[in-house]
Amino acid sequence: MNVFEFLTEEAYCVSKRFNQVVEHYPATADWTWDQAFEETKKDITMLTEHLKKETVLECSIGDLTDMSEALDQAKAQRKDINSSIDNVLMIHVDEAGFKEGLQKIADKLDEHTEFCVKSYYPLMEKLIPAEKLANIQDQLEFSLPG
């Protein structure tokens, strides 16, 4: 599995985890508030680590001229996701808006992943030398969440 396939799979796994918290949110009586809180903490940690891995790749691109627009879009999407994370962190797990905040994060991650798969990763793959990609692949932790 190359680094781009890994990042795609990782993003899908993280999104799925967020959706599971939403699905089993205490209003369904499947989970306690503590379970929802603990799972959310894990998911947010996994998501922030995933987004950091993307920035590691970006730092490996020599000349950014050919992808400045895509890079700006990826950064804006990550900033938006992080803003949604910050919003959820300001809400107590049993308050109104928590569940919707988690769903918003999952939706934004799905949108970002779609952009990455269709446009961003293929562009990076062309611009990052194979040697650097191999080094990055060795550096990144290759274990999927779940």
- Quote the DSSP letter at residue 60: T
Q: Do 127 and 63 touch, CB atoms closer than 8 A?
A: yes
Nearest-5° Cα angle at 144, 39 to 37: 5
Domain membership of residue 60 as a residue range: 3-25+32-139
Identify the band that residue 28 occupies on the pLDDT scale cut at 50, 70 and 90.
low
Residue 91 lies in a domain: yes
Q: Would you say residue 134 has pLDDT above 60?
A: yes
- Mean pLDDT on 119-146: 78
Residue 146 lies in a domain: no
Measured distance CA(62)–CA(114) in Å, rounded: 24
- Mean pLDDT on 9-13: 94
Structural domains counted in the chain: 1
Residue 80 lies in a domain: yes
- Residue 9, pLDDT score: 94
Residue 7 lies in a domain: yes
Identify the band that residue 111 occupies on the pLDDT scale cut at 50, 70 and 90.
very high
- Residue 128, pLDDT score: 83
Identify the band that residue 10 occupies on the pLDDT scale cut at 50, 70 and 90.
very high
Q: Is the pTM of this model over 0.75?
A: yes
Q: What is the CATH number of the domain that holds 114?
A: 1.20.120
Torsion of CA 62, 67, 70, 75, to 10 degrees: 30
